Amino acid sequence: MNSFERRIRAFSIDISMSTVLFILLIIAIGTIDSVSDELKLTLAASISYFGTLIIPQFISKGQTFGKRNQKMKVVYAKSERSPHVLVLVLREIVKGFLMIGTFGFYLLVCGIIASSRKDGRVIHDFIFGTKVICLTLYVSDKEGSVLTRTESVKKHLEGSSYD
């Protein structure tokens, strides 16, 4: 599986968790009568987005639950070091505003860009100088395992995001 597919899976996991949390919050907040419906929706959406995409950045720098599940991490494009937490949070906020502000069209553009670029970087990666890397060759591999690349493996991976 290439890094684009893993990135899509990680995003799907994160958005699914956010959606489930949003529904639970709507049910919980819905019982409060003194608050307007618009405020309830805004509160639930904000808490669910921040709870699944922002707060994990403080716990595991560069990894949301979806990225951790797919053994991926956000790093600086030039040095491959973990970015400062502030950069990671701003990256997620900008990505969220672009998704909402374009009614999801931004995701389509990101999908086209990520699948056509060898490094898989998209607009919010260029803005913050980051990229998403795979920590292992396959999702089932253990992190930190030494990967030896024979000539046949190098030939097989040629043109993929792993070379």
Q: What is the pLDDT of residues 8-27, one digit of tens each?
A: 999 999 999 999 999 999 99
Average confidence (pLDDT) over 34-53: 92
Helix (H, G, I), strand (E, B) or coil at 11: helix
Question: What's the pLDDT band for 93 if we cut at 50, 70, 90?
Answer: very high
Q: What is the pLDDT of residue 33?
A: 84
Give CA separation, 75 vs 125, 135, 151, in Å. Answer: 10, 11, 28
The 10 Å CB-count burial string (b at 16+, else e) for 117-146 is: eeebbbebbeebebbbbbbbeebeeeeeee
pTM: 0.80
Q: What is the pLDDT of residue 35?
A: 85
Report the distance separating Cα 101 and Cα 27, nearest Å. Answer: 26
Chain segment 105-156, per-residue pLDDT in tens: 999 999 999 999 988 999 999 999 999 999 888 887 776 554 555 666 666 5
Q: Which residue has the tokens 């600086």?
A: 76
Q: Is the pLDDT of residue 160 over 60?
A: no
3-state helix, strand, coil split of the chain in percent (to 5) is 60, 5, 35
The mean predicted confidence, pLDDT, of the chain is 87
Per DSSP, 52 falls in state I
Q: What is the pLDDT of residue 22?
A: 96
Q: What is the pLDDT of residue 57?
A: 93
Q: Are 116 and 153 in contact (CB under 8 A)?
A: no
Helix (H, G, I), strand (E, B) or coil at 3: helix
Min mean pLDDT across 34-38, 104-108, 159-163 is at 159-163
Helix (H, G, I), strand (E, B) or coil at 55: helix
Neighbours of 82 (CB within 10 A): 17
Q: What is the pLDDT of residue 1?
A: 45
Assess if residue 39 is contained within a domain.
Answer: yes
DSSP-assigned states of every residue in 80-117 = -PPPPHHHHHHHHHHHHHHHHHTTTHHHHHHHHHHHHS
Q: Is the pLDDT of residue 83 over 90?
A: yes
Write out the residue range of the structural domain in which residue 42 sits.
Answer: 3-157
Assess if residue 162 is contained within a domain.
Answer: no
Q: Is the pLDDT of residue 84 over 70?
A: yes
As for how many domains the chain has, the answer is 1
Q: What is the pLDDT of residue 34?
A: 86
